[in-house]
Structure 1
Amino acid sequence: MLEDVTSSAVRVALKGLSQRQRVIADNIANIETPGFLAGRVQFEDALRTAVSSGSSPQDVAPSVGRSLEPTRENGNNVNLDHETLSHMDTVLRYQTMLKALDSKYSLLRSVIKGGA
């Protein structure tokens, strides 16, 4: 009951978003590091494909790649504006996923208690 597709997909999304938050923090911490290429986390397409094809979302893992955006003279391509917006978007998505999981568990608690 706790391992349905929705719960699994939400947990995978939380894992991917958490990884994205760590990568964004790493990007910002290295904004002045010569030759540093910003990291990017991808998982949404794989998760969407898994859910739509009936595969287990549990098998989806976030992948981290390097940004191919142009670099500055020092070889670094971290863009603080992009990282800030990405961070805000990630936080909002993370909060939404937490609310979805909380709602699911609240519903289960209500059913277990007998709807009281």
Structure 2
Amino acid sequence: MSLNFDKALGVHPYALQLRAERAQIIAGNLANVETPGYLARDVDYQQILADVARRVEQGQSGSDLGAGLNQALASPAYRVPYQTAADGNTAELGVEQAKFGNNAMDFQTSLTFLNLKISGLAKAIEGR
């Protein structure tokens, strides 16, 4: 009997990849907080992950899921600022720092879930 890793690991590998990509986007926002005219970007994590979860339940393969995830990450949306800046920059230091911190915690949570899934599979394979 073969093991289907997409079914065994579920959405967790894709959540981890999405969190890593989102960290890069937010880091870019943080790096450009003082750049005049810079437009802050972000991805809708909940929507993308819900789409990936739906595809996993439908039994789509890993390459199809990865391609769909990459397509969703290729065009992040621009974020509307809470406070408009005179120079047209929409990246706000406090907001970006908070989003980066939340994303880092969520990344660690996704990594913990993935580690638990993998250790459970290893125990099942070893017969423990």
Superposition TM-score tier, normalisation by shorter sequence: 0.7 to 0.9
Which residue is equivalent to 1:41? 43
Which residue is equivalent to 2:118? 105
Which residue is equivalent to 1:75? 88
User: Which residue type is aligned with residue 119 of structure 2?
Assistant: S
Q: Give the RMSD, CA atoms, in angstroms.
A: 2.1
Higher helix share: 2
User: Which residue type is aligned with residue 79 of structure 2?
Assistant: S
> Does structure 2 conserve the Cα–Cα contact (< 8 Å) formed by 1:13 and 1:44?
no
Which residue is equivalent to 2:127? 114
- Determine if the alignment matches structure 1 residue 94 to structure 2 residue 107: yes
Post-superposition CA distance 1:21-58 (Å, at most 9, x none): 10111111101111001011223213214424733482
Greater relative CO, 1 or 2 (CA 8 Å, sep 6+): 2
Using the size of structure 1 for normalisation, the TM-score is 0.84
Distance 1:4 1:98 in 2: 16
Report the secondary structure of 2:42's partner residue: strand
Shift of 1:14: 0.9
User: Which residue type is aligned with residue 65 of structure 1?
Assistant: A
User: Which residue type is aligned with residue 122 of structure 2?
Assistant: R
> Does structure 2 conserve the Cα–Cα contact (< 8 Å) formed by 1:19 and 1:41?
no
Structure 2, unpaired ranges of 5+: none
Using the size of structure 2 for normalisation, the TM-score is 0.77
Moved more, 92-101 or 36-45: 36-45
Between the two proteins, the alignment pairs up a number of residues equal to: 115
Post-superposition CA distance 1:69-96 (Å, at most 9, x none): 2531101011111111111111111111
Which residue is equivalent to 2:16? 14
Task: Give 4+ residue runs of structure 1 displaced > 4 Å after superposition.
Answer: none
Q: Percent sequence identity over matched residues?
A: 27
Moved more, 2-11 or 88-97: 2-11
Change (3 A) 1:6 1:91: farther
